[in-house]
Amino acid sequence: MKSFWIGSLSLLLLAPACGLLKKDAVSVIPEYAKRTPAEGEKHFKSLVQLSYGGDNAEAYWSPDGKWLTFQRTNPAKQITCDQIFTAPWQALADSNYMPARVSNGLGRTTCSYFMPDGKRVLYASTHEGGHSCPAPPPSGGAYIWPIYETYDIYIADLDGKNVKKLTDAPGYDAEATVSPDGKKIVFTSTRSGDLELWVMDTDGTNLKQVTTELGYDGGAFFSADSRKLVFRSSRPKTEAEVSRYKALLAKGQVEPTNMEIYTVNVDGTDLRQVTKLGKANWAPYFHPSGQKILFSSNHHSARGYEFQLYMINVDGSGLEKITTESNFNAFPMFSPDGKRLVFSSNRNNGGTRATNLFVAEWAD
């Protein structure tokens, strides 16, 4: 679910499909797209900006490391509600390039991910619940994320055709990603009464619940060997926290201001809390070594609205700050070969609220 903080802790929720480049297309990155990593960003050997305006986030690599799938809202380009797009990552650096839309332009979409064949994309959409962009629920001044019960999970070809619906249970089904071995999909669902992690086969069958504790479990990714999951979670403990969590959930809302990073085996065993930092720690992804995790956090921010990328060992030791620029950095994902990191940031946005995609050449 693409929901995140920008500026003063406000909630941002991310046109006609354009021509698709051939799979073997080669693009030269324009000079204006090349950025200098900020001081202290020692793991970035180089940096390329891939989008220019609007809200662009949750960009994830294709299995061959040549393409990205991501979601975008950009009213200037007649994209007024989150929709899913794909593009060769180098071509996307050209500000005149128009990526291809995969989703049908109706409702709101979120959390896309390439299938193992690289020819299809997995994503969640509300379009069967209504063609209009669903309005955010009233928050009463609190910072909340909406959990739209009309979200279901779909697979489509890169051109948006041959759409197949994978989930059909009442309630929220979204935040889906695919295991590297191509056998399983993990997603977040309210089908058991709480926001829990579930796994299913890639055809939508053989569903199994992974997590069971009260709290929001979401944003899960598989380890390289497909045996473990890393995810974000809230764990209300006090009577007041439990009461508020349940009351918000009943209204289709969650308050994501206190989340930590966890790992768990795909079968639900060996649940471990990795971070104990306080505030909001989220958007985790395994380092190629499998021994570290990258994630976004505001634990260092006195006012809570600055999010930077951090890296930590899977045992919770060795916390290291990765990014140092802008108020928002999140959604990191390593390319399959481990050489590049794609992430979202509001750096270099000319003082606007725009969130753009960046690719860094990674240095351990």
Domain positions in the chain: 3-362
Reported as a single tens digit per residue, the pLDDT across 27-60 is 689 999 999 999 999 999 999 999 999 999 999 9
* ∠ CA 87-92-93, rounded to 5°: 160
Binned at pLDDT 50, 70 and 90, residue 139 comes out as: confident
Terminal Cα-to-Cα distance of the chain (whole angstroms): 29
**Distance (Å) of CA 197 to CA 15, 184, 207, 284, 310:** 32, 13, 11, 15, 24
Q: Which residues pair with 258 in a beta bridge?
A: none
* Amino acid identity at 358: F
* 18 has pLDDT over 50: no
Q: What's the count of helices (H) and strands (E) in the chain, helices before strands?
A: 2, 29
CATH number, domain 3-362, options 3.40.50.720, 1.10.10.10, 2.120.10.30, 3.40.50.1580: 2.120.10.30
Alpha carbon distances (Å) from 286 to 22, 122, 310:
30, 20, 12
Whether 28 and 71 have beta carbons less than 8 Å apart is answered as no
How does pLDDT run across 172-202, given as a tens digit for each residue? 999 999 999 999 999 999 999 999 999 999 9
Does pLDDT of 20 surpass 60? no
d(CA 185, CA 207): 9
